Amino acid sequence: MSLSERIIESNKGLLSEMVQLKYQAMSENAFRFFRGTCDLFYQDLALWKAIPKSPLGWICGDLHVENFGSYKSDDGQVYFDLNDFDEAILAPVVLELLRMITSIFLCFDFLELEEVKAANMVQVFLKNYSTVLVAGKARAIEPRIAKGIIKTFLDAVCKRKQTRLLDKRTEVKKSKVVLSLEDERHFELEKDLKEALTAHLTDWLKNHDKSPYNFKVKDVVFRLAGTGSVGTKRYMFLLESLQKKGKYLIVDMKQSQPSVLNPFVKIKQPEWSCEAERVVFTQELSQHMPCALLSYTIFKGDSYVMKEMQPTEDKIKFRLIQDQYRDIYQVIDDMALLTASAHIRSSGRSGSAIADELIEFGKRTDWQQILIDYSQAYFKKVKKDYKIFKDGFESGLYAI
C-alpha cells in the first residue's frame, strides 16, 4: 500500500470529522506526524529482522518525549512520570526504547538542533536507562527530589490553583458555571447523547469505588486533545460538590481502542474485560502512584478510561528550553530513569520478566548501538514520509 492508503486505513473506524483535525495537526511538522502515526512505526519495525532480544515488560507502547508530564495522584502529591498508556501491551521492552529514541531524533530536528547532539542525547538516554535497570530499584520524581528544569517545572505547577483550570475550561451563563464552548477544543453534544452521558456519569458517581461520590454532574462536552488519539470519543465533565458550594472537579472520559501493537506482538496477552481495563492495569503498574480518580467504565458498548483533570497536569515545552542544552540533558536523563523504573515496577506481573532478567539486560551493551542505528535511519524516513503526507494533505488527498 502507498503511504496515504496506510494512513487512511489506520484511521478507519474513528470519528471522520475529528480525523480531519488529526491530519491537520499531523501536517504541522515531522515530529507531530510521528506522534500521529504510531501504527506506521510498528508496521515498519515488523519488517526489520534484526531486532535485538530483550525481556518482556509492560510497555506504554507509544513512548516519546511528549508522553511524560506532571499530574497529581490520589495521595495528593504531584509527580513527573509517563502519562499515556493507550497502546499499552506486554511486549519486549526494546520496542519501547526504539520508539522513544526515534522521538529524540525527531524532537531535536524540530528544535533545529544538530543531529550529532541528538545522537549524543540518545546515548545518554540508553546509558541511564541501563544504569537504573542494573540498580534494580524503581524511582520516582516529585518536587522534593527533582533536579534542574524538572524541579523548576514541578515547583511551578504545584502552585497552580483549581481556579486556573476552571478559568480555562469554564464560563458563566445565566448565573451558572458551565464548560466553555469558546475553547476550540470543546464541542457541543447532541441533546440525547448529553443526557445519556450525564445519566451514565451520575450512576458512576453513585456506585464506583473510585468516584468522587459527593459530587453531581453539571455539564459535559466533547473534548479534543493530543495527536494520536484524535478521532476517538472523548468527553469532559464538570462536577459540582454537593457539600461545598462553589467547589468543582473536571473529569476526563477517554475511549480506549485496541493497542496498535496487537498485530505485531505475538506474546499471549491477559484476557481483558475491555480495552480500558488493559490501559488502567498498565498505568497502575507503571506509575509510582496513579493519577487521581484513575478507573474505567463502559458506555454504549465502548470502554473508557476515567481520570480527574487537574491544573497540575502539564508537559515540558521543549521549544522554551531549546537553547539550554544542559536542561534538555537533565530532562532526557530523567525520562530514562522513569522508563526504566516503569519497567522494573511492572516486572514479574502477568507475564512480564522478573527484575533479575531486566538487570541482566541492563548489564549488556551489545544491543544499544543497534537501536541507535535503526532509530537514526528511521527518523530520516519519517521526515521523508512527512513531506509526502504534507504534500498530499495540502492537495486534498485526505479530505472526506
| CB of 125 closer than 8 Å to CB of 100 | yes
Which set of grid coordinates corresponds to residue 205?
A: 458517581
| CB of 223 closer than 8 Å to CB of 181 | no
Predicted pLDDT of residue 76: 85
Give tens-digit pLDDT for 289-311.
999 999 999 999 999 999 999 88
Helix axes 16-26, 368-394, angle to 10 degrees: 110
- Report the residue count for the chain: 400
pLDDT band at 164 (very low <50, low <70, confident <90, very high): confident
Which set of grid coordinates corresponds to residue 278?
A: 488493559
| CB of 306 closer than 8 Å to CB of 252 | yes
DSSP state of 267: S
Which set of grid coordinates corresponds to residue 40?
A: 506506521
Q: How many CB atoms lie within 10 A of CB 182?
A: 6
**3-class SS string, 152-193:** HHHHHHHCCCHHHHHHHHEEEECCEEEECCCCCCEECCCHHH
Question: Could you tell me which residues come within 8 angstroms of residue 126 by beta carbon, excluding any fewer than 6 positions away?
Answer: 97, 101, 336, 368, 371, 372
Q: What percent of the chain has pLDDT over 70?
A: 100
Predicted pLDDT of residue 219: 97
pLDDT band at 190 (very low <50, low <70, confident <90, very high): very high
| CB of 280 closer than 8 Å to CB of 305 | yes
Predicted pLDDT of residue 116: 94
Sequential DSSP letters for 254-305: EE----TTTTT--SPPP--SSHHHHHHHHHHHHSSSPBTT-EEEEETTEEEE
What mean pLDDT is predicted for residues 306-329?
84
What does pTM read for this prediction?
0.95
* Element housing 219 (H / E): strand 215-223
Ranked by mean pLDDT, the top range of 10-19, 97-106, 203-212, 303-312 is 97-106
| Euclidean distance between CA atoms 81 and 66, whole angstroms | 11
Q: How many CB atoms lie within 10 A of CB 365?
A: 10
